[in-house]
Amino acid sequence: MGNNSKSLRNSSPHSSRREFIKKTSLGAGAAISAPYVITSNALGADDVPPASDRIVMGGVGIGNMGRGDQGAFLGRKDVQYVAVCDVRTNAREEAKRKVDDKYQNTDCTEYNDFRELMGRTDIDAIHVATPDHWHALMVIEACRNGKDVYCQKPETRTLAEGPAMVQAARRYSRVVSGGSQRVLQDYRKTVEPCWNGELGTIKSINVNVGPLSQDCNLPAETQPDTIDWDLWLGPAPWAPYNKARCDGNFGTSGGSWRSYIDYSGGGMTDWGAHHFGGATFAIDVRELQPEEVVYHEDENYLTFRYPGGKELTHNKPNTGNMVVVGTPGEKIDAKPLPSYKGTGGIYGDFIECVKTREKPFRDIEFGINTVAVSHLGIIAYQLKRSLKWDAAAQQFPDDAEANRFLDRARREPWTL
Amino acid sequence: MLDQALEALKTYDWGSDLAPVKAIDEAILSSADDGAARSELEKALAAVLDSDASRDAKDVVCRRLMQIGTAACVPALAKCLTDENLSHMARYALERIQAPEAAKSLRDALDSVSGNLKVGVIGSLGARKDADSAAQLAPLLGDSDTKVARAAAIALGDIQTVTAAKALGTAKPSDESVKIAAVDGSLACAEAMLAEGNKGEAMKLYKGLLANSPAKHVKLAVTRGMLACAGK
Amino acid sequence: MNPTRHFLVFLLAFFSLFASLRVGHAEQEANSELVSLILELLADEDSDVRALALEQIRSEAPGETSTQKFAAQLQQLPADGQVGLLRALAARGDASARPAMIKLFSSTDDPAVIEATINAIGLVGNVEDVPMLTGQIAGSDDTLAKAASESLIRLQGDTVPAAIVAQLRTSAPEMQAKLIGVLARRRALDTIPTMLDATVSTSAVVRQAAMTGLSELAGPDDIAAMLKGVMAAQRGKERETAEKRVMIACQRIKRPEQQAKPLLDAMPRFSGPDQVILLSTLGRIGGNDALAIIESAIANSDAVKHDMGVRALCNWPNASVAEQLIKQIKSDVHAGHKLSALRSLIRVAPLADGRDDIEKLDLLKQAIGMCQRDTEIQYALSRTSAIRIPETLRFLLPYTDQPKFAENACLAIVELAHHRSVREPNKEEFDAALDKVIATSKDAIVIDRANRYKEGKTWVRP
């Protein structure tokens, strides 16, 4: 951001209205020389002097993905990293050590309970990389507390969580980015021919991903004193501690939280967030949700039908992952391909948008639309039948049975 | 097969094989078009809740009643709402059962639970957008248990009726967490009014929000809402 | 001042406005009032309020009249405000903002504003902006040139490619190359003839840009003309790259057996010596018809034809010529040909071409059996990780005990372990192998990867 060298405009024909709007100046009034867009609470609350160039950040859930996210933000000159939160002592301490080593001080604060971190008025933005069953709750709470959020994918555990997250982000004008770095980076060879017109009108794309998550009935094990088990479970149903239940490894076939229905949708949401994200980006339906999911009973695969006629198939037999069907020979105009803003990939995109208040490449709405595909698919496989989906109403029309799967009651005292 | 599975639930506990659960799931799927079979299954599952089966077995049952439960199983579930170990899973089913009896059971339980269990019941009423509970939830905004008051604020924000909006608009919480939730609830109500074209009522809520020197991001939210009122 | 008093004044004013809005005012009037409010916010002292105004400009108060009112503020804001507004107007995507943007462009000397204007023009500009953008590409500022290039790629309008071609015709070679790149990124199929002409330019940089562009755009009917570009390319690196560009264009033909056809049809139109030169290109495309011609060249007693035939064989895109390669390794009289054939065999052995993984591994083992130098064995070990089966792991393990090959084997093992689909079902075996890697390798990254995979963690390629 450059310095503000010219004065702001100083006349208006609507003086009375201007006066009233001026009175909305949110707080005691920032100095004229403040950068034009960057938020003014970057290093303080309403009543502290002007913005700094740094975004003050903290992180919640600093395990596998969280560690990577933390490293990416910590490495940025425009970020001041001040707090870590994890219900596991070891992860928390390691995360703090990393920050303190970086800044050569001991200022980074540790939290076991994310609510304490959320309450800090000096923090502008947080990144969330907890298990999936916590994502919605934390993102919404962060927005209510005026924080921008970078949330790991998959952004939701249920369909109903999605609109609630988008609503919270929009309500408070927060920048909320989903976390799949692969959507833009990994699928270029698929995306570019779709957007530059090479494939003509796009008809369909196939995604191969799985499996679905499974029930978990692991036996009780002795609970180590290095984990706050009740807080790890949070809104999920109570279950006794078992290492495999909460292990953060990337497996989705057992032995990790990613495998079990209370915390994850399995590979269908975990890798699905990447593949479905890339596929919906490629065929340019990322702003939409399907209007129908067709269950092909004989061959056990799905077709998601989008408004406008494009189709996304899941695990279609004898069809490769990310295989696109276009209209050979047809010439259509190229469309400008959206990309990250700023520098530093998806993390830089988020930080740039925190400064400019623009929507990031993986704006929460796109993340939600992606993971909605996963959830709709899971429900169709579970019920073994086709479904109609009213995206505007977020309901399965005239389908009481399917509508039961829209959400799950959260364990007390957690509510969205 | 199903009988064996139901029998197995009597000794089912953490670490048990999932075979009986899978058998029950099969029975649910295969009875999709057989109302009588579904009713029998529902009845059998509900009976487990009245037995001395383990917490784990009852957990399994509640998850399945979430899928197939009707008014018939509500009494069995309702009894669990006051049980610290079972209340959540009872709500797991009751929150998703469309029958009005399910909502009533949650409303009825409000006076007989406290602390976290009350928070849970309030949350489920909010999730159901149960307009009939607004009058019961409104006074809870001033509850001395701040978790209860906060839950009531969030639930009223979900319910979004005139009663809910009025309660939120006149609440004067002192606890910060309740304040944040009440503000959020009011904003939600105002947005709902805007969506229905009721700009005047939305403006009243926005006005109320500004009167309490809210945090900056709330002022931004209000300004945004007011701009929406000014638009077409 | 007490903030509460601020807002009471605000509310009074807003309510009087709001009341007037509600008395049956037309939609357009409401929009106009909203625009006025947004403009007030845009001039606010608080950056968060201004950010809210920009958010509104991006998506609210639809219509050209509103856009023009917003755009009119460009001249009145400070530089960073201009940047914010330009970005918001670009996101709004309404072309009626363009005149104000152009006016600003011609009056500012702030680099950030210039860059933001160039970016915005890419989204709301038209064919009239081509000269300005090409001028920026030709300029000395790399940042602005890159922005202008991206905007020229995005600029909408059917006549834009022809306007770029017009600029290209009067440009210096470096600029021609850049504009050919822009046309390719635009997928301007109508400009293929221009690119084909450029393949025989006297400037290498133009020839290369044209061949690259054509590799992305050319259809089957254009491939014969691309061969002139192969012939025009200087021997060595440029020609090799040109051959690969033709190969990429041919690979877009859906049916594999048809991919060499445009070349086979075109070759008779070239002179005898040129046909020999084109064999190398033909080899890169492959196919049975191509193989017959190449085998005939290899069998020819003419040393030049034989040499080009072997080169063509060594360029083959898959392992279908394994038998012929083995024959060359065993029987060719030239040591250079033998080595080329061996390295080619190692290259194609793991490629996906319908053979199963065991067959691929067996072929690689066979190739290793014919290696006489450590270099080729090391190359072969590095190729094994493309065959993702536990048998590959078992094959690699003994090499970890041989100091000459241990690092190659360790790297191949972690590459193999990187793939969860092969690692997880064979966890015990992989864990033992990864322990061996940890104990053997001197490469810190390889050891770190081995440790991570053992713990079920991922590793992100730098």
- Domain assignments of chain C as residue spans, ordered by start: 29-125, 318-387, 394-462
Rounded to whole angstroms, the Cα distance separating B5 from B23 reads: 6
Report whether pLDDT(A4) > 50. no
Would you give the DSSP letter of residue B54?
Answer: -
**Contact residues, chain B to chain C, C-beta under 8 Å:** 199-200, 203, 207, 210-211, 213, 216, 219-220, 223-224, 226-227, 229-232
Query: pLDDT digits over C9-22, tens only?
Result: 454 566 556 655 55
pLDDT confidence tier of residue A310, bands split at 50, 70 and 90: very high
**Together in a domain, B107 and B12:** yes
Residue A157 belongs to a domain: yes
pLDDT of residue C421: 86
The domain boundary, picked from B111, B130, B149, lies at B111
Query: pLDDT digits over A138-176, tens only?
Result: 999 999 999 999 999 999 999 999 999 999 999 999 999
Question: What number is the average pLDDT over the span C54-72?
Answer: 95
Q: Which of A10, A186, A357 should be substituted to probe chain C, the one whose Cβ sees the most C Cβ atoms within 10 Å?
A: A357
Q: Which of B67, B217, B218 should be substituted to probe chain A, the one whose Cβ sees the most A Cβ atoms within 10 Å?
A: B217
The domain boundary, picked from B84, B111, B138, lies at B111
**Together in a domain, B78 and B177:** no
Query: pLDDT digits over C194-204, tens only?
Result: 999 999 999 99
Nearest CB to C60 within list B211, B213, B231? B231
pLDDT of residue B93: 98
**Together in a domain, A143 and A234:** no
pLDDT of residue A64: 84
CA A353 to chain B, closest CA, distance in angstroms equals: 16
Query: pLDDT digits over A265-288, tens only?
Result: 999 999 999 999 999 999 999 999
**Together in a domain, B18 and B72:** yes
Mean model confidence pLDDT for chain B: 96
Report whether pLDDT(C293) > 80. yes
DSSP string computed for C296-307: HHHH-SSHHHHH
**Together in a domain, A188 and A156:** no
DSSP string computed for C345-388: HHHHTTS-SS--HHHHHHHHHHHHHT--SHHHHHHHHHHHTTS-
The count of structural domains within chain A is 2
**Together in a domain, A119 and A233:** no
**Together in a domain, A392 and A246:** yes
Cβ A170 vs Cβ A303: under 8 Å? no
- CATH class given for the domain over C29-125: mainly alpha
Question: What number is the average pLDDT over the span B116-134?
Answer: 98
**Together in a domain, A162 and A219:** no
pLDDT of residue A169: 97
Higher-scoring residue by pLDDT: C352, C26? C352
Residue A350 belongs to a domain: no
**Together in a domain, B77 and B129:** no
User: Which of A241, A253, A270, A232 has its CA nearest to residue A91?
Assistant: A232
pLDDT of residue B211: 84
Cross-strand bridge partners of residue A150: A127, A177
pLDDT of residue C16: 57
The domain boundary, picked from A177, A212, A228, lies at A177
Residue A11 belongs to a domain: no
Considering chain C, what percentage of its residues have pLDDT values greater than 90?
Answer: 87
pLDDT confidence tier of residue B230, bands split at 50, 70 and 90: confident
Q: What is the CATH number of the domain that holds A198?
A: 3.30.360
pLDDT of residue C375: 97
**Together in a domain, A374 and A274:** yes
Residue A12 belongs to a domain: no
Report whether pLDDT(B153) > 90. yes
Report whether pLDDT(B185) > 80. yes
Please give the residue range of the domain that contains residue A279. 182-337+364-416
The domain boundary, picked from A131, A148, A177, lies at A177
Interface contact flag, B216 C31, Cβ < 8 Å: no
ipTM of the complex in this document: 0.97
Beta-carbon contacts of residue C446 (< 8 Å; ≥ 6 apart): C407, C410, C411, C414, C437
The domain boundary, picked from A177, A208, A223, lies at A177
pLDDT of residue A330: 87
Cross-strand bridge partners of residue A79: A55
Rounded to whole angstroms, the Cα distance separating C457 from A91 reads: 15
Other CB atoms within 10 Å distance of the CB of residue C405 = 19
Which of A292-296, B205-209, C230-234, C240-244 is predicted with the least confidence, judged by mean pLDDT? Answer: B205-209
**Together in a domain, B130 and B229:** yes
Interface contact flag, B213 C15, Cβ < 8 Å: no
**Together in a domain, B57 and B147:** no
Based on the number of CB atoms within 10 Å of its own CB, is A5 exposed (0-12), middle (13-18) or buried (19 or more)? exposed
**Together in a domain, B93 and B159:** no
The count of structural domains within chain B is 2
pLDDT of residue A296: 98
**Together in a domain, A144 and A239:** no
Query: pLDDT digits over C322-360, tens only?
Result: 999 999 999 988 999 999 999 999 999 999 888 999 999
**Together in a domain, B82 and B27:** yes
Interface contact flag, B155 A415, Cβ < 8 Å: yes
Report whether pLDDT(A1) > 70. no
Residue A35 belongs to a domain: yes
**Together in a domain, A244 and A284:** yes
**Together in a domain, A159 and A229:** no
**CB contacts, 8 Å: C214 with chain A:** none
Q: What is the CATH number of the domain that holds B170?
A: 1.25.10.10
Query: pLDDT digits over C73-128, tens only?
Result: 999 999 999 999 999 999 999 999 999 999 999 999 999 999 999 999 999 999 99
CA A388 to chain C, closest CA, distance in angstroms equals: 30
**Together in a domain, B13 and B30:** yes
**Together in a domain, A161 and A190:** no
Residue A234 belongs to a domain: yes
Question: What number is the average pLDDT over the span A192-218?
Answer: 95
The domain boundary, picked from B111, B140, B170, lies at B111
Mean model confidence pLDDT for chain C: 92
pLDDT of residue C146: 96
**Together in a domain, B142 and B103:** no
pLDDT of residue C21: 54
- Tell whether C60 lies on the interface with B, counting CB pairs under 8 A: yes
**Together in a domain, A170 and A228:** no
**CB contacts, 8 Å: C37 with chain B:** 227, 230
Interface contact flag, C77 A12, Cβ < 8 Å: no
Q: What is the CATH number of the domain that holds A121?
A: 3.40.50.720
Say how far residue A284 (Cα) sits from the centre of its chain. Answer: 19
pLDDT of residue C420: 87
* B neighbour chains, 3+ CB pairs within 8 Å: A, C
Say how far residue B93 (Cα) sits from the centre of its chain. Answer: 10
Query: pLDDT digits over C157-187, tens only?
Result: 999 999 999 999 999 999 999 999 999 999 9
Beta-carbon contacts of residue B118 (< 8 Å; ≥ 6 apart): B110, B145, B148, B151
pLDDT confidence tier of residue A249, bands split at 50, 70 and 90: confident
Residue A3 belongs to a domain: no
Q: Which of A22, A47, A153, A173 should be substituted to probe chain C, the one whose Cβ sees the most C Cβ atoms within 10 Å?
A: A22
User: Taking phi first (over 0 means left), then psi (-120 to 50 degrees means alpha), and beta for anything else, what does residue A302 get?
Assistant: beta
Please give the residue range of the domain that contains residue B92. 1-111
CA A405 to chain B, closest CA, distance in angstroms equals: 8
Rounded to whole angstroms, the Cα distance separating C111 from C141 reads: 10
Rounded to whole angstroms, the Cα distance separating A311 from A291 reads: 10
**Together in a domain, A123 and A220:** no
Question: What number is the average pLDDT over the span A345-374?
Answer: 96
pLDDT of residue A203: 98
Residue A83 belongs to a domain: yes
Report whether pLDDT(C4) > 50. no
Place of tokens 């975990």: A270
